[in-house]
Amino acid sequence: MFGEYQLTTYTIIALFVLLTVLSYILRKTTILTRDKMIKQIILSVATLLGIVLILLTLPITDNSKQTLLSFLGILLGATIALSSTTFVANGMSGMMLNLIKPFKTGDYIRIGDEFGKVSDITILHTQIQSIDRDLINIPNLKLVSNPLVTISTSGTIISATVSLGYDTPWKHIEKDLIRAAERTDLESPFVHVTELNDHAVTYKVGGLLRDISGLITKRSDLNKAVIDALHEDGIEIVSPTFMNQRVYEKNAVFIPSCPVCETKENIPAPSDEYVPKMSTEDIIFDKAIGAELIKKINMTMERLEVKSADFRSLFNTTTNTDMFTTEIEEVELIEDQKVELESSFKTMKETFEKEDDKTPDAIKLKTLQYVDSRSEEMENEMEKLLEKLKGNID
């Protein structure tokens, strides 16, 4: 019995000795094994080859050996497939991110609870540096399978929230908050009343920050500016449920002393009533609104082209062309205006799609809104001319 398995036994002993010696050599040698992963791969390959030799030395038929080797191959393949699912998924996700390029190195991104600046992008993971200076490695699979927020390099909205009492008119508070946003160098500042609570009103002040390199600092600066602006105007910022067991005078206020404004005369007056150049929605959703307008204008231009062609086709069918001299002149005028409008639209469309373009958002959207309005007017005029021509022919 032992004679039949003698070769197999010797092979097992030789494999054990080989693995022991190899492990010792790899532990003592640092030239090729500075990475633990390399060491593990070498030992795994040696073990796998040893198992194959053991199967080949078994005293069984060749068909049985072939069956065992096939089973080993299937088992090994299944193990690799199952263990590499995440590896392959992250690799495919990395190629997808490289294709669509939702962000680049240096951009601020937010994924779930993680927020930071992109420091490295690899095929398997993306590294960001958090506001605490920690390095966070995020698997690429997570980036493509979860909502991803990228802070636009063309600017982002920053805001601050404060709750104040009902005893101060909201128009007065709005002026102070607008002044705070202006001090922080925010474009198109706005103030929203977000909540009417039982004991306080919640205000949100914000604006467009162009230079996002100082995003974290600017958010802090806005909060500081809000405190200063309200305190300078004599407005308390205390909790609606503010309580203190110490006894104070009836008219006591809780504003820290201000060396710059010790007297009421030194307090700067609120700025004039703020009239925004753009609506808040235009500022926040400028890219989405612009894309919607571009799509709408393209469709309107296509319909206008069809109506113009229909008019000329119908005009060519009539024998009494002298009756429609005025109409054909109006159509020609609309077609000339359409060419000029398309030229302006093409230029503005290219400007809108450039991330690094310095044209103010107000000009971009106002131009697109004008082109949209004018193209609709031209379409309506062409529709009336076409209906008039059809009516006279009938």
Q: What mean pLDDT comes out for the span 95-102? A: 86
Contact between residue 121 and residue 134 where contact means Cβ atoms under 8 Å apart: no
Q: What is the pLDDT of residues 57-74, one digit of tens each?
A: 888 888 888 888 888 888
**pLDDT band of 202, cuts 50, 70, 90:** very high
Q: What mean pLDDT comes out for the span 290-303? A: 87
Per-residue confidence (pLDDT) for residue 61, from 0 to 100? 81
The structure tokens listed for 261 are: 């404004």
Per-residue confidence (pLDDT) for residue 278, from 0 to 100? 59
Contact between residue 184 and residue 221 where contact means Cβ atoms under 8 Å apart: yes
Query: 25, 74, 68: which is closest to 46 by C-alpha?
Result: 25
Q: What is the pLDDT of residues 161-184, one digit of tens each?
A: 999 888 888 999 999 999 999 999
Per-residue confidence (pLDDT) for residue 256, from 0 to 100? 65
| Residue 332 pLDDT greater than 70, yes or no | yes
Whole-prediction pTM? 0.54
Q: What distance in Å separates the CA atoms of residue 230 and residue 268, rounded to the nearest whole number?
A: 11
The alpha helices in the chain, defined as continuous H runs, are 6-28, 36-57, 62-83, 85-100, 140-145, 170-183, 215-232, 280-284, 286-315, 325-353, 361-393
| Residue 236 pLDDT greater than 60, yes or no | yes
| Residue 153 pLDDT greater than 90, yes or no | no
Q: What are residue 203's DSSP bridge partners?
A: 162, 193
Contact between residue 82 and residue 33 where contact means Cβ atoms under 8 Å apart: no
Per-residue confidence (pLDDT) for residue 244, from 0 to 100? 46
The structure tokens listed for 76 are: 């090994």
Per-residue confidence (pLDDT) for residue 276, from 0 to 100? 43
Q: What is the pLDDT of residues 297-326, one digit of tens each?
A: 999 999 999 988 888 888 887 777 677 788
Q: What distance in Å separates the CA atoms of residue 9 and residue 54, rounded to the nearest whole number?
A: 8
- The full DSSP string for 113-164 is TEEEEEEEE-SSEEEEEETTS-EEEEEHHHHHHS-EEE--TT-EEEEEEEEE
**Which range among 81-90, 252-261, 287-296 has the greatest average pLDDT?**
287-296
Q: What architecture does CATH give domain 156-266?
A: 2-Layer Sandwich (3.30)
Specify the residue for token string 């805001």. Answer: 159
Query: 235, 232, 225, 236: which is closest to 159 by C-alpha?
Result: 225
Q: Give the count of alpha carbons within 13 A of 105, CB side only.
A: 6
Per-residue confidence (pLDDT) for residue 177, from 0 to 100? 95
Q: What mean pLDDT comes out for the span 80-103? A: 79
Q: What distance in Å separates the CA atoms of residue 293 and residue 291, rounded to the nearest whole number?
A: 5
Contact between residue 283 and residue 354 where contact means Cβ atoms under 8 Å apart: no
Q: What mean pLDDT comes out for the span 86-98? A: 83
Task: Give me the CATH code for the 93-150 domain, please.
Answer: 2.30.30.60
Q: What is the pLDDT of residues 270-284, one digit of tens each?
A: 444 444 455 665 666
Burial of 247 (C-beta count, 10 Å sphere; 0-12/13-18/19+): exposed
Per-residue confidence (pLDDT) for residue 270, from 0 to 100? 46
